Chain A
Amino acid sequence: MAVRNLIDGIREAMHEEMARDERVVLLGEDVGKRGGVFRASEGLVDAFGEQRVIDAPLGESGIVGVAIGMALNGLVPIAEIQFADFIHPAFNQIVSEAAKIRYRSDNDFHVPMVIRAPFGGGVHGGLYHSQSVEAFFMHVPGLKVVIPSTPADAKGLLKSAIRDEDPVVFFEHKRSYRLVRGEIPDGDVTVPIGKARLVREGKDLSIFAYGLMAFHAEQAAETLAKEGISAEVIDLRTLLPLDREAILASVARTHRALIVHEANHTMGAGAEVAATIAEGALYELDAPIRRLTGPDIPAMPFNTPQEEHFMPNPEKIAQAARELLAL
């Protein structure tokens, strides 16, 4: 097993699933010859042809709506949204259609499909190439929301998403594409949707995160370890359905909870994690729950100092952990 980038895991999962199952198709802007603007689909059009790797006209409602039709008629589409910031034209198709087709038809119809979208900031992307939009979709029963943080999980979770019988919104942190490296198991290894990952055991506090922030939390835990603080790190991996059991079990071990995400504070994924702890493990807590998040401003500014101020990072996570332990 060689050490690879996170984006290699994405590409390999798509490649292997398209080879394994001829119903799987990929559609999106620039996914063909260009191989996607981040190169996630590099080589796929050569391997599987233009009929299965489809350069879509520029329009996200079209991409997702057409993918729904394909799924209704026997294909398994992977719809790529070029940036998560541009998923909103497809919101109606995702929320009114994909999420509700099984339920509204009393199980007569269903749409096995994946909607992939790079999200997150720290890349000088300004307001509209930096957003974390996962919370909107977490609020929609009928969807699954998955976010990998390691190359191995990128591959294993995406394979599971493609094989899932229901629509999965799959967010990939664009900064992590080539920053986060790790081994990717060869062959057909899947990672189950709905299960959090215990990244690192600890006894003083639990840090809950996902995507790039799970990577940063791990780095923060290493710093803290040198100071004699034992931080447990849980990578949530799936936001919907949330692995409540894993969250509660971790809090029962450490009695302190720090939740980290890059998305803004109010009504972010952290609110649901905090509520889960309050409902299920309040008496386990030795200190109030702490959330370290992006600020409640409309989006991430482009200029360097403000972008840096917006982003949580390992130092800020370690500092929040120290403060939580001082309580």
Chain B
Amino acid sequence: MARTKESPKTTSSLGPAEVRKTYRNMLLARTIDERMWTLNRAGKAPFVIPCRGQEAAQVGWAAGLRPTDYFLPYYRDLGVMVTLGYSARQAFLSLLGKGEDVTSGGRQMPGHYGWPDRHVITGSSPVTTQVLHAVGIAYASHLRGEDTVAATSLGEGSTSQGDFHEAMNWASIYKLPVLFVVENNGYAISSPQSKEMAVQDAAERALGYGMAGVTVDGTDFFACYEATLQAAERARRGDGPTLLEFKMYRLLPHSSDDDDRTYRSREEVEAWKERDPILRMQKHVLDAGVLTAEENEALRAEVQAEVDDAIAYAEAAPYPPVEDMFTHVYAD
């Protein structure tokens, strides 16, 4: 089975309009993320789980799939959600637990996505449980002869869970159309990758299951996008699942409750800021002439305005009524 490392991509099948759209999605995810953090620090939002540093990979893998595919993202995947059409308003409604929150009506913590309209399956907090669901979803599609892929994501630390290994085994035995997306940001809270696995690349784990494993630079949108397209094509052809590993860095602490100074150096964090995926994409759009400097500024301002509106909207929005907490325990 193939074990590949993807080389950097600077071009792709995407036209300028699509590249602009992609860049906007990355910017929107980043801006929402930054403002969520600010709200938390101002005591207005109890909990934030940041995506900062992972936007290229998230927007990349989501853009590489079709609306008919199934998505089982994990808590950091704001970039995936934005690519699927999740608005800034929705993000802040969820952050503040407001009734209009599309993911759970204010029931779940932020970052616990679910959106039936866009084939995003509801997720929980215990890590890696969704990976098995992706296998079952792919099995059902396959049984009905449908042309859809089930894509699920998780952190590299979460590949230590037994569920992950059971899922890869299932998917490869039945050659199911599953994409296992490992967003490798180097840490599981404080645990560096070396304490989660004895291999260099999480994608090496695919070998033991007889399936394809691909390691990609997760700060390179185009590489992530192209690798996803190829994996999805392989899955649709009936050639089975792929473990896609996107390597990058978690630029912020694990969550708003974490303090990463206790376990990693500032020098390390600063060095990775040089490889910020947003800067990389910005450089590309400017160099390639997708946007002029003025257009870039205008786009950034537009995104900021969208987020300002979203915060005001979400802050003013009502909580769900208390009595709603008793609904939907069962069908009746």
When the two chains form the complex, which single residue of B46, B190, B197, B319 contacts A30, counting CB atoms closer than 8 Å?
A: B190
Are the C-beta atoms of A58 and B157 separated by less than 8 Å?
yes
Are the C-beta atoms of A126 and B189 separated by less than 8 Å?
no
> A187 near B: Cβ within 8 Å?
no
A26-40 residues with Cβ-Cβ distance < 8 A to B are 29-30, 32-35, 37
B91-115 residues with Cβ-Cβ distance < 8 A to A are 97-99, 104, 106-109, 112
B180-222 residues with Cβ-Cβ distance < 8 A to A are 188-191, 195-197
Query: Which of A85-93, A164-172, A273-281 makes up part of the contact surface?
Result: A85-93
Do A55 and B97 contact each other (CB < 8 Å), given the known contacts A34-B263, A126-B107, A306-B324? no
A30 and B253 CA atoms in complex are apart in Å by: 13
Are the C-beta atoms of B322 and A34 separated by less than 8 Å?
no
Are the C-beta atoms of A124 and B126 separated by less than 8 Å?
no
Chain A residues contacting B326 (CB-CB under 8 Å) are 295, 297
> A310 near B: Cβ within 8 Å?
yes
The dominant DSSP class at the A interface is loop
Chain A residues contacting B125 (CB-CB under 8 Å) are 85-86, 126-129
Are the C-beta atoms of B329 and A298 separated by less than 8 Å?
yes
> A304 near B: Cβ within 8 Å?
yes
Are the C-beta atoms of B190 and A55 separated by less than 8 Å?
yes
Closest residue on chain B to residue A61 by CB atoms: B162
A89, A125, A303, A310: most-surrounded residue (chain B CB, <10 A): A303
A1 and B211 CA atoms in complex are apart in Å by: 61
A-B contact pairs, 18 of them (CB 8 A): A30-B191, A33-B262, A33-B263, A34-B189, A34-B262, A34-B263, A58-B127, A85-B125, A89-B163, A124-B109, A127-B124, A128-B125, A129-B109, A297-B326, A301-B106, A303-B319, A305-B322, A310-B325
> B38 near A: Cβ within 8 Å?
no
Number of interface residues of B (CB under 8 A): 39
Are the C-beta atoms of B325 and A127 separated by less than 8 Å?
no
Q: How far is the CB of A24 from chain B (nearest CB, A)?
A: 21
Do A302 and B126 contact each other (CB < 8 Å), given the known contacts A58-B157, A61-B162? no
The dominant DSSP class at the B interface is loop
Are the C-beta atoms of B126 and A304 separated by less than 8 Å?
no
Q: How far is the CB of B126 from chain A (nearest CB, A)?
A: 5
Are the C-beta atoms of A303 and B98 separated by less than 8 Å?
yes
A58 and B164 CA atoms in complex are apart in Å by: 11
A37 and B189 CA atoms in complex are apart in Å by: 9
> B25 near A: Cβ within 8 Å?
no
A306 and B125 CA atoms in complex are apart in Å by: 19
> B257 near A: Cβ within 8 Å?
yes
A302 and B190 CA atoms in complex are apart in Å by: 25
> B258 near A: Cβ within 8 Å?
yes
> A192 near B: Cβ within 8 Å?
no
Are the C-beta atoms of A301 and B195 separated by less than 8 Å?
no
Chain B: residues with CB nearer than 8 A to chain A?
Answer: 46-47, 97-99, 104, 106-109, 112, 124-127, 157-158, 160-163, 188-191, 195-197, 257-258, 262-263, 319-320, 322, 324-326, 329
Are the C-beta atoms of A59 and B46 separated by less than 8 Å?
no
> A62 near B: Cβ within 8 Å?
yes
> A309 near B: Cβ within 8 Å?
yes
Closest residue on chain A to residue B258 by CB atoms: A37
> A57 near B: Cβ within 8 Å?
yes
C-beta contact mask, A267-297 vs B, less than 8 Å → 1, else 0? 0000000000000000000000000000111
Are the C-beta atoms of B319 and A29 separated by less than 8 Å?
no
Chain B residues contacting A303 (CB-CB under 8 Å) are 97-99, 106-107, 319-320
When the two chains form the complex, which single residue of A33, A88, A125, A301 contacts B190, counting CB atoms closer than 8 Å?
A: A33
A85 and B107 CA atoms in complex are apart in Å by: 16
C-beta contact mask, A249-266 vs B, less than 8 Å → 1, else 0? 000000000000000000
Q: How far is the CB of A84 from chain B (nearest CB, A)?
A: 11
Chain A residues contacting B320 (CB-CB under 8 Å) are 301, 303, 305-306
Q: How far is the CB of B269 from chain A (nearest CB, A)?
A: 15
B99, B160, B191: most-surrounded residue (chain A CB, <10 A): B191
Are the C-beta atoms of A125 and B109 separated by less than 8 Å?
yes
A128 and B108 CA atoms in complex are apart in Å by: 9
Are the C-beta atoms of B160 and A59 separated by less than 8 Å?
yes
A127 and B263 CA atoms in complex are apart in Å by: 28
10 extra A-B contacts, CB within 8 A, seeds A128-B124, A301-B325:
A33-B262, A57-B195, A58-B160, A85-B125, A127-B125, A297-B329, A301-B107, A305-B320, A306-B106, A309-B325
When the two chains form the complex, which single residue of B98, B108, B195 contacts A55, counting CB atoms closer than 8 Å?
A: B195
Chain B residues contacting A301 (CB-CB under 8 Å) are 97, 106-107, 320, 325
A301 and B46 CA atoms in complex are apart in Å by: 14
B47, B104, B109, B189: most-surrounded residue (chain A CB, <10 A): B109
A58 and B155 CA atoms in complex are apart in Å by: 10
Chain B residues contacting A35 (CB-CB under 8 Å) are 262
A61 and B129 CA atoms in complex are apart in Å by: 13
Chain A residues contacting B124 (CB-CB under 8 Å) are 127-128
A59, A61, A62: most-surrounded residue (chain B CB, <10 A): A59
A309 and B124 CA atoms in complex are apart in Å by: 22
A32 and B46 CA atoms in complex are apart in Å by: 26
Closest residue on chain A to residue B262 by CB atoms: A34
When the two chains form the complex, which single residue of B109, B163, B257, B263 contacts A302, counting CB atoms closer than 8 Å?
A: B109
Closest residue on chain A to residue B160 by CB atoms: A57
